[in-house]
Structure formats: structure tokens, C-alpha cells
Amino acid sequence: MTGFHWQHAAQDGAARAGVLHTAHGTVPTPTFMPVGTAGTVKAMTADAVRETGAGIVLGNTYHLMLRPGAERVAALGGLHRFMDWPGPILTDSGGFQVMSLGALRTLDADGVTFRSHLDGSKHRLTPERAVELQHLLDSTITMVLDECTPFPATHDQAQASMALSMRWAARCRAAFQARDGYALFGIVQGGVFPDLRAQSAAALTGIGFDGYAIGGLAVGEGQAEMFTTLDAVVPHLPASHPRYLMGVGTPDDLLGGVQRGVDMFDCVMPTRAGRTGRAYTSRGVLNMRNACHAADDGPIDPACDCPACTKHSRAYLHHLFRASEMLGPMLLTWHNLTYYQSLMRGMRAAIVEGRLAAHASELRAAWRP
């Protein structure tokens, strides 16, 4: 098989291991995509991101359309060349960011009008324009424009929001220019209501997409309700296509998502945590600003092979953060992304070996404070 596709490799319960084949290379799944919102993973060079083991990164249409502009990126050779990332890039349509603007945006049946958070300039985003912008960026995986249903929402509110997103999804499908190895993903909405999630999944599979994302979660509903919603929606998605849980999350969130059959994840959490002094480790979360690390000559995580762990001590990282040195966020971001990639590799191996349940128990026991 050629072109964009997901190849199944192993199954352990609902969890799957596989390989994503794209125009810009292959990616083993389950996979975590570092977030490069404005064409860069914050505090990291592209080489550093590659060294963490990441095979695919995420960019954001909203931020890139405002600065430097999708047309300019296209004129400069596309986002892959612009940010020195020849591998696959998935771009969020910008819908979530636009919907987060509140009073700065006006939604209608055709699209959304909004004012830039940068300078107040007025912009218009429709399903067709969102697809066009991502084409200009040369996104490997284009996401449909949707309305991220807020939480909490009533059933009627969630239904109206979902129905709008499904109409927009059909328009995105019609506007998408199919190219070998490129993909368009639909986004399942419907809040925390199983019937609406099932309706949304049916609508999207009826339209036909190259992959299916689950949106509108990790927006305040809590992990238990997120997992319950995943249990309800994943069985409605085609087993032959990749499944992507958007904007999630903590290591335990990723583990729970994989156990429920999700293949792809993204979240700002590891990079944001790295910039604020929080380290994700095989033994749980550490705050490198805490005084207990001031004289500790040991590594952040003995099991990690990133530069922060192999070349520096906890005491040094503590010093960097206390002194507000920019190297601290750089090293800790590198560490967190390395840990997330290591976590995904471990889960892939456990699925192949048929021991994910035992592996999950071991991970969770080690994370407990």
C-alpha cells in the first residue's frame, strides 16, 4: 500500500501498535507529538527535538497565519523547510485558539470572524480557508476546522456545536487537495455525551477521512470523565485508521488513552512544565525549584539518557532555575520531551509483547508519591 495510511502491527486488548506512513516519512505508533505552535518547539532546536526520539511535530494554523503568515511560509519553501523539520508535521486548524478568544470572535454558520490577540487586526476563518492555510504551510496532516465544545455544556448546546462542526468537516473534505502521502483528519465532537459522540463519529466516517481525532476533551471534565468518553467513542472509529486524542496530556493520560486504543497525542504540558521547573520522571513529577534539590548531585532521572540527566545534576538544574538562567528551561524541556518519547516506546514494546496491563501497573506504581 502506498500513500498515507496506518499499518497495524500488534494488538493488546484495545491498545494497538502500528506505523503511520506519510509523504514525509514513517512514525511508529502510539506516538506523542511535541507542540511547535509557531514553527518551533519552545526552548528546543529541531536537532534537539529529533534527539528526543520524536518522529512528528505539531504546528498551529492560527498562530502561523498571524505571524509570519501562511503565504510567506509557502514562499519560503513551506513549514518543513522553514523550521528545519523534514519529517511529518500535523497542523491544528486554529479552531481551538479562535474559540478561546471569547469576545474577540464572532461565530456564524459559515465560519468565524476574529481579532488577532497580537494587534487587534480583523481576520476571517472558514473551513475552506483553514484547509487552504494548511495547504500553504505544506502540512502533512491537515485538521478540519471545528468548534471545540466548551465544558460544561448542556446536551442541546453540545448537539448544536457538534452539528456545526460536522457541516464544517464536510466542507473541509470538499476543499482538501488530495496528494500522495498527505492526509485530512476529521474531529469527533459532542462533549461528554455518548450519543452525540456516536452521531459525530458516524457523520465523519460517512464523509470519509484519512484519520479521526477526538476533540473537546481535557477541557475541564476531569480524567475519569475523559476516559469514560473515550470508552464510548473509540469503538465507533474505524480500526483501519489512525486515532488522535487532541491536547492530552499527562503521562497517566497518555497511558489511559493508549489502553483505550488511541494512537496519537499532543500536548503543551511537557514543554510548558520544562519552562516552569517541573520534571516528568519515571518516579513521578519533581519541582526543580524546591530546596531539597539544592545540594543533590544525582540526575533528575537515572533512567533517562537526555543531556540534562547524563551531564548535569539536580543541584545544577535547581541553581539554573533559581538564577533565572535560560539554560534551565532548555535542559528541562529536553528532558521532559525525552521522557515522553521513552514512555511511548515502552508502551509500544509492551503492546507488541502482550504485557501492557502489567506495564501500566508498574508505571503507575512508580509514579505514586
Taking only the tens place, the pLDDT of each residue in 163-181 is 999 999 999 999 999 999 9
Q: Please, where are the H alpha helices in the chain?
A: 46-51, 61-66, 70-75, 79-82, 95-99, 127-137, 155-175, 194-207, 223-233, 251-259, 269-275, 307-311, 314-322, 327-353, 356-367
Strands 183-188 and 211-214: parallel
Strands 122-125 and 112-115: antiparallel
pLDDT digits (tens, 9 = 90+) for 104-148: 899 999 999 999 989 999 999 999 999 999 999 999 999 999 998
247 and 266 Cβ atoms separated by less than 8 Å: yes
Q: Can you list the domains of the chain with their CATH numbers?
A: 5-266 (3.20.20.105), 274-367 (no CATH)
The Cα–Cα gap between 256 and 268 comes to 18
The Cα–Cα gap between 48 and 337 comes to 10
305: helix, coil or strand? Answer: coil
Mean pLDDT of 233-244: 98
The pLDDT value recorded for residue 98 is: 80
Q: Is 80 exceeded by the pLDDT of residue 150?
A: yes
Residue 282 banded pLDDT, cuts 50, 70, 90? very high
The Cα–Cα gap between 195 and 23 comes to 36
Q: Is 90 exceeded by the pLDDT of residue 369?
A: no
Q: Is 70 exceeded by the pLDDT of residue 273?
A: yes
The pLDDT value recorded for residue 195 is: 98
Q: Is 90 exceeded by the pLDDT of residue 365?
A: yes
DSSP structural state of residue 248: B
**Selection from 245, 215, 185, 258 nearest residue 18 by Cα:** 258
Q: Is 70 exceeded by the pLDDT of residue 86?
A: yes
Phi, psi of 187 (to 5 degrees): -125, 120
The pLDDT value recorded for residue 308 is: 98
Mean pLDDT of 220-241: 98
Share of residues in the chain with pLDDT > 90 (%): 95
The pLDDT value recorded for residue 29 is: 98
The Cα–Cα gap between 38 and 62 comes to 9
Q: Is 90 exceeded by the pLDDT of residue 44?
A: yes
The pLDDT value recorded for residue 1 is: 61
Q: Is 70 exceeded by the pLDDT of residue 93?
A: yes
Phi, psi of 332 (to 5 degrees): -75, -35
Q: Is 80 exceeded by the pLDDT of residue 99?
A: no
The Cα–Cα gap between 143 and 95 comes to 9
Active site residues: 92, 266
The string over 306-338, giving b where at least 16 C-beta atoms fall within 10 Å of a residue's C-beta and e elsewhere, is bebbeebbbebbbbbbeeeeeebbbbbbbbbbb
- Give the CA diameter of the chain: 60
DSSP structural state of residue 193: -
Share of residues in the chain with pLDDT > 70 (%): 100
Q: What is the mean pLDDT of the chain?
A: 97
